[in-house]
Structure 1
């Protein structure tokens, strides 16, 4: 068992710092993904605006209504291809982000379990007779802290899945329309 309260405080602090590190890693990756998505959106919007302005010029310069319709029709196929390309890029970005999230969460969870096992071993070794209740209290506290960590990790996974689902729905709508 811990020889003094300072050992327990240090072990608890280490677990808490690990949880913060995990949260920071996942948050950092999420922010990076958002930045990439915003950059993709800005680039796509800029390109679409340029193409629309160019098409507007060509339509206004058309000598006849038929020529104007031909210009518009000629733009439809490339527009659909651009939409499909955007959806593919966004899907690839989300897949990469999801993979990174799951890898980081799994790695941090595995390390946390390892640290937890070591911490429980430290708590239970050299336990003087009659200290079983104290050991159980410490074990329960450690287990509860780890369960909280698992819940945060699972909530993060659920949030990523929900975000992916929303993007898939938006992508499906853009393919229909």
Structure 2
């Protein structure tokens, strides 16, 4: 019996952009399903004493170069957002508001946000940009208290799991970190481990 891949991501994670572009195709190849779970990296980083990558550090320089290389390897368009990292609270709340009504539309919304941020270089922290994305998808989104709570809960859930970066993939009790671990996570989900 196959298991679900729980896809923990932050819209402000460039590697999450890579993962969202390949996760469904990878999951389908292994006959498994996915559950998308945006969370906020900021509180996670704060809790573990970490900081977002800066292009001024060796790690940051590598990250910016590597994400572009990964995008090319997967045939994905990529441009680093002008503001990085960016505030992803509004996008996360909108996702959960949509997800409560139609999970498939929530995934479509997430993909459109990632495309706007990492292809179109749009400021997806802007309510106007998010409203335009929703309009393009034919959505009218009301950010409820339940949606706000869902994002907080997902962030706390990620912290409780020991998540320290995005994307993180959870299959049963097993955690896989990084877009480059999608194949392993999908195989684990389809076989129950090895």
Instruction: State the TM bucket, normalised to the shorter chain.
Output: under 0.3
Please tell me whether Structure 1 or Structure 2 has the larger radius of gyration of its CA atoms: 1
- Higher strand fraction (1 or 2): 2
Give TM-score scaled by structure 2 length. 0.18
Q: Which has the higher helix share?
A: 1
